[in-house]
Structure formats: structure tokens, C-alpha cells
Amino acid sequence: MNPWRGLKNIPHNIWILAFATLINRSGTMVLPFLALYITQDLQVSAGSAGLVLTFYGLGALITAPFVGKLSDKIGALLVMKLSLIVTGLMLFIYPFLENYYLILGYTFIWSIIGEAFRPANLSLIASESDVEQRKTSFALNRLAINLGMSIGPLIGGILSTINFDLLFYVDGITSLLAGIFLMIVKFDKSEKPNLNTVNEITVQSSNKKRSESILKDKYFLLFLIALIPVQIVFFQHIGGLPLYVVRELGYSGAVFGILTAINTVLIIFIEVPLNNAMANWNDKVALALGAILCGLGYILMVLSNNIFFIGFTVVIWTFGEMIFFPASTSYTSNLSPENRSGEYMGYLQMTFSLALMLGPWLGGEVLETYGSTMLWIGAFIFSAISSVMFIMFKKTDNVKNKIIIKLL
């Protein structure tokens, strides 16, 4: 049986979005090398270079919910086009900036505009695929991201040995090309599927959904809280894990690169068929399974520091990642009220940005202060907290036909 068979039913518009993402991500090379560029070209400290990345993360955190709401008002596709075009133009200017404080401000604005693409993209994928296709559609989008990210940083590494400015120009060109592609390609005009058809969720009246503040949606807010612990664990692959492998165990950066490649290759070849096979799974069960696999992959490193065993643990938490992230976006799209998908996806992206800001820093601090054993045990505890919260979610219907939360 063909494990990729589910792709033939993916709507034409989803393929267009995936290809645009691939074009954009294939040129993503500035951000992975930004700290190196700042330290080498501007001659500032590693801490100052890290602050530039913090400003980028702060911009991503702030923009997500507002851009999501904007996508609902003016259209997610328009937001995506504007984000890609303006970001591309901004990247051409970046190499000419020399003042450190100006770079901090410019990076913050670049992040706000560039990261606007993400919630808009997720919102449009949700609106263009029905419930049965969502996990596979989001997995296809992640496939495009990972394929692109396997190309961009590789080329960026080569270009950085020639001239760092080339990274900004190539990244800017691919961003412009992706935006132009979305402008000229023909989208199918199909009816928007019902975003609220899901076996766990009771549909409220449309008018009430449009008017209520997202802060009153206690179910969704608790869901966001449940996401954060395991997302912090996920970001140990760029936080505690490289420090542990290179600094504590003494392996080379090349060896860590091979571990990273295991993660990327698995995602490229397995994530789409895996999520296609799990298309009919209950989202909260998939979330709980993905979360606990992430923690299990890290706590197993307490047993052995053999590099082959560590490679095995990477396989485990990668399967958790491949299950967890498509399920989280699918569940968010099912929870979102009609015509507010962008806003909800924006808040989902906000938790991702928050974990990106906290995860690597927290992992490094725990590793430095308490050691690797406590870091991996803590990672499992964080993952278990998220997993238990997902399992304990239960909806009950009251006389007003609203969704409320009840913990078993």
C-alpha cells in the first residue's frame, strides 16, 4: 500500500502554498548565520549578537496574534504576499547598516514583517483543506519547510566564506520570487470548508464566535498553555543538545550536524505518510503521544552517552515532533471560530515564538548549573505535563451550547 497515497487528494491550492514555502525557505540563510555575521563584520561580542536574535524573537512574538487577526480582515493570501515582498526588499538594505542599535531596531521590524507570513500561511492552509486532510496538509507544509531549510543554510555556509552580503541578497531574492509566484499563480476558486467540523468540538452560534474576545475562549487558552512546556523541550535541539554533544561529550560540530541530518531526513521522508496514516486519529491523542515521545527521546540520554545511542534518541523525539506539530495546527484550526482562523493561528504561532525565546536559554542555563542529567529529566517532566494536560481535556455542553473545560 502506497504510504503517500493521501497526497493525491490534497487540494491544488495547498500544493501552491507548499511550493511558495519551498521557494522562500530554500533561500533562508540570513537568520541561521546572523549571529556569526554580527560578530565578524561588526566586531561585537557574542552576547551582543545574541541580543540581535532576541530582538528578532521578540518581533515574532508580538506580531503573531495581530497579524493573524489582520489575515482574517484583509485575507491571508494578501498578508503573505506583502510579507514576502517587503521582507525581500528589507534584506537588500540590511548589509548597509553599521550602527549596532540601528541593527537592533531594524531586525525587530524585519521580524514583525517577515514572521507575518507564518500565521497567515497556516490560516490559509486550514481554510483550503477539510478536516480529514488537515494533518496531511500541514505535514506537507512542514515538508516544504524542511526541504527548503536543507538547501538554504547549506548554500549560505558556502556564500559566507565568499562574502556575507551575498546571504542577504540571495535570501531577499528568494523571498521576492515566492511573493511574485503567489501573485501570478492561479488559485482554484473553491468553497471554504467548514472549519469547525470535528468530533470533539461543539459549534457555537456564528455571531457569538465573531464577537467574543479570544481571551474568553478558556478552552483554547488552556490548550495554548499546555503547548508551551513541550515546545520548550523541542527547542533543546538548538539549545541544550548541541552544548551537551559538543562541549560536554567532546564530539565535533560535524558529528552534531549528522545528528541534525537524522532529524531532517526523517521529516522529509516520513512525516507526510505518517500523518496521512494518522489522519483519522483524535487530535488530542496525537498531541499527547507526540509530546511524550519528545520527552522520552531526551530522558533516554541519561542511560548512555554513546553517539550511536544518542542518534537513536534523536529518532524517537523526531517522531514526537512529526506527530505533535501537524496535530497542534490541525487542532487549532478545528478550535477556531468561523472567519477567525488567522487570529487563532497567530496565537498558536505566539506560543512557538515564546518557546523559541525561552527554550534554548533555559536549556543552556540548566545544563550549566545543574548538569545534563537534570536537563534531560526536566525535559521529560515538561513533556509529561503537556501530555497529561492534552489527555485530561474534556468538553461538556451546557444549556448555551458552549465549550467549557473540565479536567477529569
pLDDT digits (tens, 9 = 90+) for 250-261: 887 678 878 888
State which of 193, 217, 234 marks the end of a domain: 193
At 14, give phi and psi (nearest 5°): -65, -40
Share of the chain above pLDDT 70, in %: 88
pLDDT given for residue 202 in this prediction: 36
3-state secondary structure of 199: coil
Clarify whether residues 163 and 229 are in a common domain.
Answer: no
- Angle among Cα 204, 205, 206 to the nearest 5 degrees reads 110
The answer, yes or no, to whether residue 387 has pLDDT greater than 50, is yes
CATH number, domain at 286?
A: 1.20.1250.20
Same domain, 280 and 327: yes
- Asked whether the predicted pLDDT for residue 334 surpasses 70, the reply is yes
Q: Are 373 and 98 in contact (CB under 8 A)?
A: no
Instruction: Note whether 384 and 230 are within 8 A (CB).
Output: no
User: What's this model's pTM, rounded to 2 decimal places?
Assistant: 0.75
Residue 305 corresponds to which amino acid?
N
Neighbours of 101 (CB within 10 A): 7
- Residues 127 and 34 placed together within one structural domain of the fold: yes
**Summary count for the chain: helices (H), strands (E):** 16, 2
Q: Are 167 and 235 in contact (CB under 8 A)?
A: no
Backbone φ/ψ region at 21: left (φ over 0), alpha (ψ -120 to 50), beta: alpha
In the predicted structure, residue 406 carries a pLDDT above the cut 60: no
pLDDT higher than threshold 60 for residue 196: no
**How far apart are the C-alpha atoms of 194 and 126, rounded to whole Å?**
10
Position 44 scores a pLDDT of 76
Domain boundary among 163, 193, 223: 193
Domain range for 392 is: 202-408
Say whether both 73 and 110 belong to one domain. yes
75 Rama class: left (phi>0) / alpha (psi -120 to 50) / beta: left
DSSP secondary structure of 101-157: HHHHHHHHHHHHHHTTHHHHHHHHHHHTS-GGGHHHHHHHHHHHHHHHHHHHHHHHH
Confidence band (pLDDT; 50, 70, 90) for 7? Answer: low
Contact in structure between 327 and 27 (CB atoms under 8 Å):
no
| DSSP track, 43-87 | ---HHHHHHHHHHHHHHHHHHHHHHHHHHHHH-HHHHHHHHHHHH
What is the rounded CA–CA span in Å between residue 123 and residue 71?
8
pLDDT at position 404 is: 37
Q: Do 319 and 405 have their domain in common?
A: yes
Residue-wise DSSP of 290-350: HHHHHHHHHHGGGT---HHHHHHHHHHHHHHHHHHHHHHHHHHHHHSPTT-HHHHHHHHHH
Q: Are residues 266 and 378 in the same domain?
A: yes
Last residue of a domain, one of 193, 227, 261: 193
Same domain, 126 and 220: no
320 compared with 235, residue with greater pLDDT: 320
Q: Is the pLDDT of residue 204 over 80?
A: no
Q: How confident is the model at residue 34 (pLDDT cuts 50, 70, 90)?
A: confident
351 has pLDDT over 50: yes
Judged against a pLDDT cut of 80, whether residue 212 lies above it is answered with no
Whole-number pLDDT of residue 190: 56
Percent of the chain with pLDDT over 90: 35
Rounded Cα distance between 51 and 69, Å, is 28
- Nearest CA to 225 among 382, 60, 339? 382
Strands 395-397 and 403-405: antiparallel
pLDDT in tens, 75-105: 889 999 999 999 999 999 999 998 999 999 9
Q: Is the pLDDT of residue 28 over 90?
A: no
Same domain for 162 and 29? yes
- Given a cut of 60, whether residue 399 has pLDDT beyond it is no
Q: Tell me the CA distances in angstroms from 184 to 13, 180, 357, 386, one per residue in order.
A: 13, 6, 36, 42
Residues 178 and 248 in one domain: no
Instruction: State the total domains in the chain.
Output: 2
Angstrom distance (rounded) from CA 119 to CA 352: 11
Say what the pLDDT of residue 128 is. Answer: 84
Tell me what pLDDT residue 210 has.
Answer: 47
Residues in contact with 35: Cβ distance below 8 Å, sequence separation at least 6, in sequence order = 46, 49, 50, 52, 53
Average pLDDT score, the chain: 83
pLDDT at position 47 is: 65
Q: What is the distance between the alpha carbons of residues 317 and 292, in angstroms, rounded to a whole number? A: 9
146 with 262, same domain?
no
pLDDT of residue 109: 95
Is the pLDDT reported for residue 390 higher than 80? Answer: yes
pLDDT band at 139 (very low <50, low <70, confident <90, very high): confident
Cell of 9: 487528494
Least confident of 30-34, 199-203, 214-218: 199-203
Q: Does residue 136 surpass a pLDDT of 70?
A: yes
Do 247 and 334 lie in one domain? The reply is: yes
